[in-house]
């Protein structure tokens, strides 16, 4: 099932009180540096430190009461979000984590009470490990991005942003697996343009949308660890139909703007969140009017 805006609105009602209504911040300095009026939706201040809490909370809330165990694969943020959402609903969580995931993100998953299972850093290895877990335990798989409930939940961040800042011309979001991007494309519903950004070293969304066919990338080496996942098929179709543009940023630019956002705004953002501003800086003139930016997460560390 492909979610629509009504699903995003329903998700917002469903998760109300279980996630933060995150603040919107502005920066005159960043406006001057980038030559555009920016408003930042601070999902780095969300519970578990990332927007992923929205989708995980919505997906878990949609499960039948008799589901006792959930499982997923994640490089960090979705795993932590699902672990907490499961714990708060009285369920067990098992998370498959690639060996190249940040130690700090792995620790967060364990801190929220989930069982962690290691795997090689490829989508095939993740899925194989997950299949074994589901077969062994009977757990219900809650995907990290390519799932109607996850997409609708992620879209609530943009829905809130549009309520907090009416009249935006664009909403910029990072794209990895594509749940936030697809949710944003649905939430804006023509009221603003959804613009996507990803690392040059993980440009499968750009290549896929420009070619019109899904083109999974090899395991990328980008510092933006939350964006190393290949674009999901359902998300690809949503983004293709929406006609979303994708812009890329170099590793040097991502590192530079991660540091600059933290320095200027006095908030912590992870590289995956800074890729939007990095792409704007590398492509002058593509951000126009009044621009919303989803700062997707703030989970940094070794």
Which pLDDT tens digit goes with each residue over 209-250?
A: 999 999 987 778 899 988 988 899 999 999 999 999 999 999
pLDDT of the residue at 228: 87
Cα(5)–Cα(8) distance, rounded to whole angstroms? Answer: 5
Residues 61 and 193 in one domain: no
Q: What is the pLDDT of residue 203?
A: 95
Whether pLDDT at 5 is above 90: yes
The answer to whether residues 74 and 172 belong to one domain is: no
Q: Are residues 157 and 245 in the same domain?
A: yes
Q: How far apart are CA 80 and CA 132, in angstroms?
A: 21
- Residue 217's pLDDT is 74
| 61 and 190 co-located in one domain | no
Residues 153 and 221 in one domain: yes
Q: Is residue 41 part of a domain?
A: yes
Q: What is the mean pLDDT of residues 138-165?
A: 97
> What is the tens place of the pLDDT at every residue in 30-64?
999 999 999 999 999 999 999 999 999 999 999 99
**pTM for this predicted structure:** 0.95
CATH number for the domain that contains residue 95: 3.40.50.1100
On whether both 28 and 175 belong to a single domain, the answer is yes
Based on the structure, what is the number of domains in the chain? 2
* DSSP per position, 165-185: STT-SEEEEE-SSSHHHHHHH
Among 272, 248, 145, which residue's Cα sits nearest to residue 198?
Answer: 248
pLDDT tens-digit readout, 257-292:
999 999 999 999 999 999 999 999 999 989 889 999
- Residue 301, pLDDT above cutoff 80: no
Tell me, yes or no, whether 301 lies in a domain. no
Q: Which domain holds residue 290?
A: 5-50+147-295
What local confidence, expressed as pLDDT, does residue 128 receive?
A: 96
- As a whole number, the mean pLDDT across the chain is 95
Q: Are residues 97 and 162 in the same domain?
A: no
Whose structure tokens read 């927007």? 51
193 with 161: CB under 8 angstroms? no
What are the tens digits of pLDDT across the range 60-110? 999 999 999 999 998 789 999 999 999 999 999 999 998 888 888 899 999
In the prediction, which pLDDT does 68 show? 97
pLDDT on residue 75: 78
Q: Which residue has the higher pLDDT, 228 or 163?
A: 163
Query: Distance between CA atoms of 46 and 59, rounded to whole angstroms?
Result: 17
| Final residue belonging to a domain, choices 106, 125, 141 | 141
The reply to whether 163 and 286 lie within a common domain is yes
């Amino acid at each position: 099932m492909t979610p629509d805006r009504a699903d995003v609105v329903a998700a917002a009602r469903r998760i109300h009180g279980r996630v933060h209504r995150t603040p919107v911040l502005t920066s005159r300095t960043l406006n001057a540096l980038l030559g555009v009026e920016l408003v930042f939706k601070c999902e780095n201040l969300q519970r578990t430190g990332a927007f992923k809490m929205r989708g995980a909370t919505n997906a878990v809330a949609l499960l039948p009461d008799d589901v006792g165990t959930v499982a997923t694969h994640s490089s960090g943020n979705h795993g932590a979000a699902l672990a907490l959402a499961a714990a708060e609903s009285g369920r067990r969580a098992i998370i498959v984590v690639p060996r190249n995931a940040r130690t700090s993100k792995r620790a967060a998953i364990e801190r929220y009470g989930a069982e962690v299972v290691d795997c090689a850093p490829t989508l095939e290895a993740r899925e194989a490990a997950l299949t074994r877990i589901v077969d062994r335990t009977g757990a219900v798989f809650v995907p990290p991005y390519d799932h109607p409930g996850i997409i609708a939940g992620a879209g609530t961040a943009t829905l809130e942003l549009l309520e907090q800042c009416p009249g935006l011309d664009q909403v910029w979001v990072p794209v990895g697996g594509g749940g936030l991007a697809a949710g944003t494309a649905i939430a804006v519903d023509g009221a603003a343009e959804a613009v996507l950004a990803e690392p040059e070293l993980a440009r499968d969304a750009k290549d896929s949308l420009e070619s019109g066919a899904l083109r999974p990338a090899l395991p990328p080496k980008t510092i933006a660890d939350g964006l190393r996942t290949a674009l999901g098929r359902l998300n690809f179709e949503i983004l293709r139909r929406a006609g979303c543009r994708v812009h890329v940023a170099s590793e040097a630019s991502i590192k530079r703007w991660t540091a600059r956002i933290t320095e200027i705004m006095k908030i912590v953002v992870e590289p995956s969140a800074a890729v939007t501003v990095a792409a704007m800086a590398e492509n002058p003139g593509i951000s126009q009017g009044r621009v919303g930016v989803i700062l997707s997460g703030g989970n940094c560390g070794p």
